[in-house]
Amino acid sequence: MKHRILVIDDEAAIRESLRMILEYEEYAFVGASSGQEGLAVVQRDRPDLVLLDIKMPGMDGMEVLRKLRALDETLPVVMISGHGTTSTAVDAIKSGAIDFLDKPLSSERVIVTLQNVLKQQELRQENRELKLAMESRYEIVGDSPALRAVLEAVKRAAPTNATVMLLGESGVGKELVARTIHRNSPRAGQRFVQVNCAAIPEELIESELFGHEKGSFTGATEKQIGKFEQADRGTIFLDEIGDMSPKTQAKVLRVLQEQEVERLGSARTIKVDVRVIAATNKDLEEGIQRGEFREDLFFRLNVIPIVVPPLRDRRDDIPQLVQHFARRTSDEHNLKPKRFDARAMEALQRYRWRGNIRELRNTVERLMIMTSGDMVRVEDLPPDIRGDAPARTTVPDAPSAASAGAATAGSSAAQPGGTLREFKDASERAYLVQKLRENNWNISKTAEVIDTPRSNLYKKLEQYGIKQEVDG
Ligand SMILES: Nc1ncnc2c1ncn2[C@@H]1O[C@H](COP(=O)(O)OP(=O)(O)OP(=O)(O)O)[C@@H](O)[C@H]1O
Ligand SMILES: [Mg+2]
């Protein structure tokens, strides 16, 4: 994407020479001949950087700078100083300009300065995003009695080395709890390694978990370190443990008993010190009855069971969660904050949420992006959540008819707000859910039908949090 540079300078000759320099370097140039005009441009289409002349008739550069800062603190401004304004340039830096350029302008200086500033800006932005993600992503929101009981158990389990088994429906927050345990354990400084036992093809899971030596099987062109080894001195999170094959179960049991692993194709054993957290949304005892899950492995893993209750058993948490996800979405996507009116909130609290918090989160995100105005009303909700349509038998994560329609056909039911990117994502998601449904959630089949590699489809499912409903 081209960076857009706004040049505010009253001298046409300067604007013109900057335009040539910038366009030659593939920047998009926007010119303004006065402070007023420049401010209008900034409000209309936000540039990535402003080059601002200090000495201009009417509103001078310092005043424009102050106004720009008030408009948008994060917009980088580089001052252009002429003869006799160098000391002003220094003042400008104190007032928030990021750098300055002296006249006469050298094209090299201009380019180097722009590159530096934009790079710096990018890093800052990344930092902000990371911090935001770190803080809000791992926050466990809610204080219903049911959730408080979970947090109590977490507090007791975290400081120990004991194996924890997290039980609960899809989307209730098992992974979040697993990470919280790790972050509050003495191993917090070490790695948290996650293995999704359901997503890894049967024939690869052993080499994923235990690693392999180069040449140990066809396709093993490089040595691979397994997840258990990677997690040494840290925590391994065995997610969807109910989906492991009997053979893998036997090997995992051995690692847990012996605290050592063997890479495929190697006779050497390697000591590992890992804390295990396992999770499943399946009924493992039933699996044992049916002979699909090893009882001895179950007992090994089930040292501290923590049940994370479904959202419909802790509806008191819903308003807080809605606000949390609304805030997060608006921060992440640079959207205006929106409020949910009382009736909308009531409907959200009443709904069944088969997909639990993940479904709630996706619903809130979608509403934030697709609803126009600064208030989400009950009319904006998908019919089944509103309660005036027959309950869907579809997947919980599927966009509602209204928003999916808006995403694909641009219907007027919900005005797509936000950026092109958000619109594209929403459409892509709706498309994938549709195709998955048509193919009975058979991933390989769907990947084939839509002509994309299976790995890519898995990535998309992860990215959009698409999940098949268990009883759907
Ligand atoms: N109490 C909570 N507060 C804030 N966010 C939460 C809470 N519980 C869950 N979430 C969020 O909901 C989403 C789903 O949670 P998570 O992935 O931990 O569920 P899960 O139980 O592991 O689901 P699955 O069984 O489908 O893997 C995540 O984005 C998570 O951050
Ligand atoms: Mg999970």
Decide: 314 in ligand 1 pocket, CB within 6 A.
no
| CB proximity list for 42: less than 8 A, separation 6 or greater | 6, 50, 68, 71, 72, 75
Q: What one-character-per-residue DSSP string does 420-439 give?
A: HHHHHHHHHHHHHHHHHHHT
Decide: 65 in ligand 1 pocket, CB within 6 A.
no
Decide: 363 in ligand 1 pocket, CB within 6 A.
no
Task: Categorize the per-residue pLDDT at 388 as very low, low, confident or very high, splitting at 50, 70 and 90.
Answer: low
pLDDT at 394: 45
Spatial separation of the C-alpha atoms in residues 50 and 77, rounded to whole Å? 5
3-state helix, strand, coil in the chain (%, to 5): 50, 15, 35
pLDDT at 434: 84
The model's pTM: 0.61
Spatial separation of the C-alpha atoms in residues 418 and 21, rounded to whole Å? 33
Q: Compute φ and ψ for 228, nearest 5 degrees.
A: -60, -40
Ligand 2 centre to CA of 238 (Å) is: 10
**Mapping DSSP to helix (H, G, I), strand (E, B) and coil, where does residue 470 land?**
coil
Residue-wise pLDDT tens digits, 321-337: 999 999 989 988 888 88
User: CB–CB of 52/97 below 8 Å?
Assistant: yes
Helices (H), 143-222: 145-157, 174-183, 202-210
3-30 mean pLDDT: 96
pLDDT at 469: 54
Spatial separation of the C-alpha atoms in residues 229 and 352, rounded to whole Å? 41
Decide which of 464 and 311 is more confident: 311
Decide which of 41 and 132 is more confident: 41
Decide: 174 in ligand 1 pocket, CB within 6 A.
yes
- Residue 177 CA: nearest ligand 1 atom is 18
Number of other CB atoms surrounding residue 420 within 10 Å:
8
- Residue 173 CA: nearest ligand 1 atom is 18
CB under 5 Å of ion ligand 2: residues? 175
11-20 mean pLDDT: 96
Residue type, 344: A
Residue type, 36: Q
| SS3 of 43-82 | HHCCCCEEEEECCCCCCCHHHHHHHHHHHCCCCCEEEEEC
What Cα–Cα distance (Å) separates residue 114 from each residue in 45, 54, 121, 270? 19, 18, 10, 52
Ligand 2 centre to CA of 450 (Å) is: 26
Residue-wise pLDDT tens digits, 404-438: 333 333 333 334 456 777 777 888 888 888 888 88
Whether 399 has a pLDDT exceeding 60, the answer reads no
Site to probe by mutation for ligand 1, drawn from 357, 359, 458, 466 as the one with most ligand atoms within 8 Å of Cβ, is: 357
- Residue 147 CA: nearest ligand 1 atom is 1
Spatial separation of the C-alpha atoms in residues 80 and 103, rounded to whole Å? 7
Decide: 263 in ligand 1 pocket, CB within 6 A.
no
How big is the chain by its Cα radius of gyration, in Å?
28
Residue-wise pLDDT tens digits, 140-162: 999 999 999 999 999 999 999 99
Decide: 357 in ligand 1 pocket, CB within 6 A.
yes
Angle among Cα 286, 288, 290 to the nearest 5 degrees reads 70
211-229 mean pLDDT: 88
Decide: 281 in ligand 1 pocket, CB within 6 A.
yes
Take atom 15 of ligand 1 and give the residue whose Cα is closest.
173
Whether 392 has a pLDDT exceeding 60, the answer reads no
User: CB–CB of 152/308 below 8 Å?
Assistant: no
- Residue 178 CA: nearest ligand 1 atom is 18
- Residue 239 CA: nearest ligand 1 atom is 27
pLDDT at 465: 81
Element (H, E) at 326: helix 318-333
pLDDT at 400: 43
Angle among Cα 122, 124, 127 to the nearest 5 degrees reads 110
Decide: 310 in ligand 1 pocket, CB within 6 A.
no
DSSP for residue 264: B
Residue-wise pLDDT tens digits, 17-60: 999 999 999 999 999 999 999 999 999 888 999 999 999 999 99
Site to probe by mutation for ligand 1, drawn from 358, 463, 471 as the one with most ligand atoms within 8 Å of Cβ, is: 358
- Return the percentage of the chain with pLDDT > 70, whole number: 91
Decide which of 200 and 381 is more confident: 381
| CB proximity list for 188: less than 8 A, separation 6 or greater | 182
Packing angle of the helix pair 86-94, 61-71 (nearest 10 deg): 20
pLDDT at 132: 62
User: CB–CB of 155/184 below 8 Å?
Assistant: yes
Task: Categorize the per-residue pLDDT at 136 as very low, low, confident or very high, splitting at 50, 70 and 90.
Answer: low
Nearest bound ligand to the CA of residue 361: 1
pLDDT at 304: 97
pLDDT at 130: 73
Whether 225 has a pLDDT exceeding 60, the answer reads yes
Take atom 23 of ligand 1 and give the residue whose Cα is closest.
171
Decide: 467 in ligand 1 pocket, CB within 6 A.
yes
Edge-first strand listing for the sheet containing 4-8: 28-32, 4-8, 49-53, 77-81, 99-102
Q: Compute φ and ψ for 165, nearest 5 degrees.
A: -115, 120
Ligand 2 centre to CA of 399 (Å) is: 20
Decide: 142 in ligand 1 pocket, CB within 6 A.
yes
Nearest bound ligand to the CA of residue 194: 2
Place of tokens 């049911």: 146
Whether 401 has a pLDDT exceeding 50, the answer reads no
Nearest CA-CA partner of 177 in 231, 131, 139, 232:
139
Provide the mean pLDDT of the chain.
Answer: 88
Take atom 24 of ligand 1 and give the residue whose Cα is closest.
170
User: CB–CB of 83/105 below 8 Å?
Assistant: no
